[in-house]
Amino acid sequence: MFDMPTILNSAARAASAKLAASLGLPAFEPGWVWLAGAGPGDPGLITMLGLHAIAEADVILFDALANEALLKLARPGAELVYAGKRRGKPSWKQADISHTLVLLARKGKRVLRLKGGDPFVFGRGAEEALELARAGIPFRIVPGVTAGIGGLAYAGIPVTHRDTNHAVTFITGHGIDGKLPALDWSAISRGSPTIVVYMALANTDELAAKLIEAGRDAHEPAAIVSDATHDEQSVRVTTLEHLGRDAKESTAPAILVIGENVRLREGLDWLGVLQSGRTLNPDPLGRIDIKHAG
């Protein structure tokens, strides 16, 4: 007897196999490791290749930030291994993860390493892939939608816009030792009008102080997007000088953005329209000359 989830699973798997064949996606060969991005949260944001990998894998090692709803599409009997860092369990060391990937691949398994966002963006995907290269294990990288772009899009904040920023800088607020990394803050501050910060909640006070000291305007708009693209997404719009205070009231995971592009949310918060009937301001930067408009 099949239960309902099993029937749904096999229907979804059959549909995904058909799609994979019609798109000419590569076969997931035994003994290979695929390092794939699951996207920032909304399961709909995984790529076709990522979905194909989930449906075909024998073993899936997944991170805390990869949405577990996606695992429902794994093949029946696939081994699902949580290799994240939280949840009160002893956390996996990076070396253990890489070692496990190598051992499983050597056993001839199709191994999927599923990571939040994009595996090569602040996600140690490159470290894991280098270990595979050293061990002579064949691997494929499947990019994903990164939180610093897709997460902002769900908050109605475009990562670039020609009226606000022709450049964007991505930084992490969390160095190897847990402290703010030792960056050239003067260069970061002048480098581009928009700065997107991953893993910043713990060091936000210091980050904001460094940027203001390096010449950024304390009144410049900023936003904190928590649980981006999940049902629980929350967005706090603030200014650079209040970023530290507001970060303390925000939950992780959170992505920070500093720059004039944050103002565009007034006109682009499409999710706010869907969820609470928010009215959008079609001229969030005050650029349209009212006399000549229309």
- Active-site positions read 63, 85, 199
Total residues at interface with ligand SAH (CB under 6 A): 23
Decide: is 254 part of the binding site for ligand SAH (CB under 6 A). Answer: yes
Decide: is 43 part of the binding site for ligand SAH (CB under 6 A). Answer: no
Of 78-107, binders to ligand SAH (CB under 6 A) are none
Decide: is 199 part of the binding site for ligand SAH (CB under 6 A). Answer: yes
Decide: is 146 part of the binding site for ligand SAH (CB under 6 A). Answer: yes
Which residues are CB-neighbours of 125 under 8 A, at least 6 positions away?
35, 37, 113, 115, 118, 119, 141
**Cβ 106 to ligand SAH shortest distance, Å:** 26
Strands 254-258 and 194-198: what pairing?
Answer: antiparallel
Question: Dihedral angle at the C-alpha atoms of 54, 57, 59, 65, nearest 10 degrees?
Answer: -20
- Count the neighbouring beta carbons within 10 Å of the beta carbon of residue 31: 14
Asked if 77 and 126 touch (Cβ cutoff 8 Å), the reply is no
Q: State which residue, 148 or 193, has the beta carbon closest to ligand SAH.
A: 148
Q: State which residue, 151 or 193, has the beta carbon closest to ligand SAH.
A: 151
Q: State which residue, 122 or 270, has the beta carbon closest to ligand SAH.
A: 122
Distances in Å between the Cα of 61 and the Cα atoms of 133, 196, 227, 238, 259 are: 18, 28, 21, 37, 36
Please report, as ranges, the residues that interact with ligand SAH according to CB under 6 A.
40-41, 65, 115-118, 121-123, 146-147, 151, 198-199, 225, 227-230, 253-255
